[in-house]
Amino acid sequence: MNIVFVLFDNVTQLDFAGPVQFLSRLPGATTYIASTDGKAVSTDCGFAIVPNTSFADCPQADIICVPGGHGVREAIANTAIVEFVREQAKAADWITSVCTGSFILGAAGLLNGKRATTHWAYTQLLPLFGATHEEARVVRDGNLVTAGGVTSGIDFALELMALAKGEDVARSIQLALEYDPAPPFDGGHPSRTARPLVEGLKARVYDKAAADMEAAICATLAAT
């Protein structure tokens, strides 16, 4: 089983690091971390990730996963990235994304008519790619699996492992990696967070970020 992660500059590292830590432990799996030229990509945490393949040398994926991050705005306009995802998806068993990586799937024409999710601050943009937002941490529509923001990538990985290799395998890996979340606060989603906190964060960060993402999506769609 070939698992391919598609990376680009200014990726959110946990969008990638969470799922790859879990999925790489699937029995019989080989993990390929691909960037356009195989060279290091920057993350939003101030360090780089070194892939182990380029798009040209990457084999066909059984599972393709696209993480998100602020770099998505540039990635959806990058023909090499979008074409690589589109071509890989044609023969992949599972087409997946974490957070705003869903918009790269959208740019590749893979969300049209599908149910999907993304980070809560950007869900209103999914219809731009013909998708219907479903309120869930992980959404499966056929062989398309999209996860919400950042940490939901771990939940997505466990669900996908259960689908691919059975629940016992997924449970064993969950135990091995001691994924037993017990956060100190109840409020990782707007529906469970005090409204002033939600509105404050949106005003400081996500109103502009979502507007910038929308502008990038519209520009990409206009160019196609």
Model pLDDT, residue 163: 94
Count of positions (residues) in the chain = 224
Model pLDDT, residue 202: 97
Model pLDDT, residue 149: 96
Annotated active-site residue 99? The verdict is yes
Contacts 24+ apart (CB under 8 A), 112-116: 114/141, 114/142, 114/144, 115/139, 115/141, 116/141, 116/144, 116/146
- In CATH terms, 2-223 corresponds, of 3.40.50.720, 3.40.50.150, 3.30.565.10, 3.40.50.880, to 3.40.50.880
In the chain, where are the structural domains located? 2-223
Beta strands in 27-134 (DSSP E): 30-35, 41-42, 48-49, 53-54, 63-66, 94-98, 115-116, 132-133
> Cα-atom radius of gyration of the chain, to the nearest Å?
17
Annotated active-site residue in 45, 58, 65, 99 = 99
Record the pTM. Answer: 0.97
Q: What are phi and psi of 33, to 5 degrees?
A: -105, 110
Local mean pLDDT, 10-residue blocks, the chain (224 residues): 98 98 97 98 97 98 98 98 98 98 98 98 98 98 97 97 96 98 93 96 98 98 93
Model pLDDT, residue 224: 85
